[in-house]
Chain A
Amino acid sequence: MQSHHRSDNEHNEKLNHEHDAVFMMGEELKKPLTVIKALAEYSHENDQSRTIILESKKALRTIDNMLLFKRIDADQLALQLSPVHVGSTLTQVAHDLQPLAAGRGCETEVFIQSGISSVNAHAGALKSSIECLWQAMITMTEKPSAMTWHVSRNKNGVQVSLTNSSIDLSRVALGRKNVAIGSSSQPYMGVSGAATDLILAHKLFLILGGTLRKTKKQGSEGFTVTLPISEQLAFL
């Protein structure tokens, strides 16, 4: 019995050390990226500096989203769920990410069903999961294309989907629920460059009660997730 306790304590201690290491590494990585971004913003505005700004902001968002996930995972952040409007969150994220998508030659359209219900979510986690999914899609896109966000009500909640007119996701596997970040060199086959964002999106949506799935419609491929609607508003 005692050895079980010791082993549990050792395991928890090891986990805490791992979490601390990730937090420190994340914060340390943000510093040089912030300096690179600031230098690019300071220099004469041209295509090159614009690209540096967009790409450094993208990397900084990935780090922030990873740190948020790790804080939730380490029980350092209590998830207080409240009604959140997916459309408003998406509009907020679009403000930050549309320039990045446009920089890669991708046009984005957003369709939000009118009168859509709010979902039961943590506002920060929802924003992060949408950011991660969009960034993953932008990274996986190899040529100019049209991306479309759809937010609509279905029988199980609010369905959020992101599709792309010229992407092949056949080699992407979204199956297992417990893929640890970094546990495998190829957790999502064929998307190594976007894997961190995609894994984070998958995990953050799971925390919010939705399972990310692949979708295919009208020649486009992408991802879809259904989030539970707010219980406070479920009767509507």
Chain B
Amino acid sequence: MYIVILEPDRIIAKLIKNKLIAKNIKSNIAPTPELAMQLIDNDAPNAVISELSLSGHSALEFFYELRSYPDLQNIPIYLYTSLSIDDVVVQSKDWALLAIERVFYKPQVSIDTVIDGIMLDLNK
């Protein structure tokens, strides 16, 4: 199992990685979408955990790019974000095109809960 973590905050990224190590899951941290794309090009992950709010821009462009490659269209994307996303957005057609697997709200959801949720999905 291999996961790419797109997370601009070094502390949060490290905490996620440490939790994955404890579960024997390989992962790599990318603080920027460019680096995340490189990592994914080198080795397609089983899932991507991503913040939506990145320094300077949103991760949406990265998601659109990822989904534009036929061989990367099925990689599950899990949002772990500090942005509160309206139900209206999540229910929109544009959002559906991104095929975001799940949204976890950072201020109220722990990293353990996120990883448990992802593992549950991937082991189905």
Contacts and interface: CB of A to CB of B under 8 A. Distances in A.
Interface of A: 27, 30-31, 33-35, 37-39, 41-42, 57, 60-61, 64, 67-68, 77, 96
Contact of A60 (B11, B83, B108, B111): B108
A35 B84 contact: no
A77 B86 CA distance: 10
B102 interface: no
What is the interface of chain A mostly: helix, strand, loop, or mixed?
Answer: helix
B110 A34 contact: no
B58 to A, nearest CB: 12
B107 A37 contact: yes
Interface of B: 9, 11-12, 15, 18-19, 53, 82-84, 86, 106-108, 110-112
A37 B106 CA distance: 9
A42 B18 contact: yes
Q: Which of A30, A34, A61, A64 counts the most B-chain CB atoms under 10 A from its CB?
A: A34
A213 to B, nearest CB: 30
B53 A42 contact: no
Given A27-B53, A34-B12, A41 B112 contact: yes
A31 B83 CA distance: 10
Given A27-B82, A30-B107, A35 B12 contact: yes
Contacts of A42: 15, 18-19, 111
A34 B84 CA distance: 13
Contacts of A41: 110-112
Contact of A34 (B19, B82, B112): B82
A160 to B, nearest CB: 23
Given A35-B12, A77-B86, 16 more contacts: A27-B82, A30-B82, A34-B107, A38-B11, A38-B12, A39-B15, A41-B110, A41-B112, A42-B15, A42-B19, A42-B111, A60-B108, A64-B84, A64-B107, A67-B84, A96-B108
Contacts of A35: 9, 11-12
Contacts of B9: 31, 35
Nearest to A80: B88
A38 B10 CA distance: 12
Contact of A38 (B53, B83, B110): B110
A229 to B, nearest CB: 23
B117 to A, nearest CB: 15
Nearest to B112: A41
A38 B15 contact: yes
B111 A34 contact: no
A68 B86 CA distance: 11
